[in-house]
Amino acid sequence: MFKKSIGIAAFAIATTFSASAFADGHSAGDAVKGEKVFKKCSSCHMVGPDAKKKVGPPLNDLFGRTAGGYEDFKYGKSIVAAGEAGLVWTEEEVFEYLRDPKKYLRAKLDDKKAKSKMAFKLKKEDQRADVIAYLKTFSKPAE
Ligand code: HEC
């Protein structure tokens, strides 16, 4: 419990600094609700100090990381290509990615054949915003 409240305090500080960065129409998410949403992700992803790769890469320090950039995870070609083309994960990018990873990569790479190894979509905007708020508690605050 103690650890969790520290995470949420850090989140509150982080949102104060980055409030304008996420201002394109949707409001900032709720990290507490996001923890529940993350249950949908946790069959494939881990966060926290003991996070290891599963079906997908660990999602600690996601924000500011190059797409496809976790060492020691075997990504699909398309996400690696997007990272090589300069894609770095921000809140906005993750928000779009989660809606439909394959479509997202196809649009980013302008390649109708691009593929995603992540076979999961999160359609609901509020759930995407909430899970991003939760993931931010495992990333360093934005500079
Ligand atoms: C069925 C398994 C599965 C589920 C469920 C899943 N993912 Fe993924 N995720 C993956 C895989 C596999 C990749 C690697 C994608 C690739 O190589 O194309 C990935 C990649 C990612 C990436 C890019 C990471 C990077 O290092 O570039 C993010 C961000 C992400 N997932 C977030 C989420 C979130 C948040 C959820 C829950 C809402 C979720 N994923 C649910 C399997 C999953």
For the stretch 44-54, pLDDT in tens is 999 999 999 99
pLDDT per position as a tens digit, 65-119: 999 999 999 999 999 999 999 999 999 999 999 999 999 999 999 999 999 999 9
Are 125 and 26 in contact by the 8 Å Cβ rule? The answer is yes
Cβ(100)–Cβ(121) below 8 Å: yes
Average pLDDT of the residues of the chain: 87
The CATH fold of domain 2-136: Cytochrome Bc1 Complex; Chain D, domain 2 (1.10.760)
Q: Residue ranges per domain, the chain?
A: 2-136
Given this model, what pLDDT does residue 82 score? 98
**For ligand 1, which residues put their CB under 6 angstroms from it?**
40-41, 43-45, 55-57, 59, 62, 67-70, 75-76, 79, 94, 97-98, 116-120, 122, 131
Whole-structure pTM value: 0.86
Q: Is 43 exposed, middle or buried (0-12, 13-18, 19+ CB in 10 A)?
A: exposed
What letter represents residue 91's amino acid? E
